Amino acid sequence: MNFEGKMNGSELKVAIVVSRFNDFITGRLLDGAKDTLVRHNVEEDNIHVAYVPGAFEIPLVAKKLAKSGKYDAVVTLGCVIRGATTHYDYVCNEVAKGISKVNDETEVPVIFGVVTTETIEQAIERAGTKAGNKGGDAALATIEMANLLKNIESQV
Ligand SMILES: Nc1c(NC[C@H](O)[C@H](O)[C@H](O)CO)[nH]c(=O)[nH]c1=O
Ligand SMILES: CC(=O)[C@@H](O)COP(=O)(O)O
């Protein structure tokens, strides 16, 4: 028996948690994610967006949305850019751990679309320029994972 997540999102309800910090970047990640979801047949009315102050706040809101039972998956979008202190390391580590924990606790796909870079240029490259759009990439993973879990649940 094989399990597969098809790339048709017509039956999916998706929440997006996006941080406002570095919104020059996160706004483009959000555009990329929404465009990719719609181009894979997710209804615009089935895409709900929650804004948080910074990446550190993403896990809490992602957990709230995942636990609501109203969404097949949650996309998380943020941008953490290293500054002059070690603050970057703490934010990145806690955000990654927090999002992973929400996956484990809720068994709802919570996709990691947080860009973590050393420089602003690296972030720009990943927000719709030479390295693509990580928001769009996260949306693709979201559709596949949501449909994969539905496929597993229908067969086992
Ligand atoms: N430096 C960045 C932050 N810092 C803010 C934290 O995420 C958090 O909002 C604050 O510590 C209050 O709890 N956030 C980012 O998203 N990106 C950064 O580069
Ligand atoms: C990732 C951050 O928290 C960072 O932007 C903070 O900058 P700094 O380390 O210069 O305070």
Tens digits of per-residue pLDDT, 15-67? 999 999 999 999 999 999 999 999 999 999 999 999 999 999 999 999 999 99
Q: Ligand 2 pocket, 83 CB below 6 A? A: yes
Nearest CA to ligand 1 atom 17: 80
Q: Ligand 1 pocket, 91 CB below 6 A? A: yes
Residue at 81: amino acid letter: I
Q: Ligand 2 pocket, 66 CB below 6 A? A: no
Q: Which of 15, 113, 13, 11 has its CA nearest to residue 63?
A: 15
- Which is it for the CA torsion 35, 36, 42, 48, positive or negative? negative
| Residue 116 assigned to a binding site | no
Residues catalogued as catalytic: 87
- What pTM does this model have? 0.98
Tens digits of per-residue pLDDT, 62-81? 999 999 999 999 999 999 99
- Contact in structure between 27 and 20 (CB atoms under 8 Å): no
ipTM attached to this prediction: 0.97
